[in-house]
Amino acid sequence: MFSWFGQKRYVVATVLVGLSGLTAAPLLGVLNRASRKILDSDGDFAVTSAELATACGALIDYETSWTHTANWGEVFTKEEQAGDYGAEMFTDLSQRYLSSGEESSQAIPPSAKPPQNIVVMLTVAYLGEEPTLENPLTSATGLQQALNAIVSLYRKNQLQLAHLHYAPARFGDDLDADQLLVNYPELVAL
């Protein structure tokens, strides 16, 4: 962690949560509703940050389905640099395998099976320090603390940026073990 005496400290942090899709498939419904609300609001920050906090709460509820995690981020002294980095993270994560959240007009076929894996990607920015988001996530306890920290930052009205991505984007799509390795190489098994 870095700190600069007398200067503002902007942190942009990304947290990835990998889950077993076979046990966490209902989570896709929560994530799709959140995406719908964000899209319907044209990305309004108040709506986006609220839905990100809702997604964190849902992830905590599915703790027994967690399989992998990862986190990374950067610290900046200028808000513009933090904003640019946040935009880079948005672009990177939105290009990951099926991580759009865009709705499909097609009905889910009755034969659709739950995905093998789900990856939820959360990016936030805030002022100051939050060690639970800035230290490497290597355990379920650390991941739970990081998700709770995001919810706390939201409740304290301290989020400066909030992005939510997930893959696959809808029930009926799949993310197999090989695709997980190729598209999310930074994930660490829990």
One pLDDT digit (tens) per residue for the chain, 190 residues:
444 455 789 999 999 999 998 888 889 889 999 999 999 999 899 999 999 999 999 999 999 999 999 999 999 999 999 999 999 999 999 888 655 444 444 455 556 677 889 999 999 999 999 999 999 999 999 999 999 999 999 999 999 999 999 998 766 788 888 989 899 999 999 9
Phi, psi (5° rounding) for residue 22? -65, -30
Among 169, 157, 190, 180, smallest CA distance to 53 is for 157
> Can you read off the two tokens belonging to residue 117?
């894996």
DSSP 8-class letter at 135: S
Q: Which amino acid is at 54?
A: T
Indicate the SS3 state at residue 44.
coil
d(CA 22, CA 124): 28
Sign of CA dihedral 61, 133, 89, 155: positive
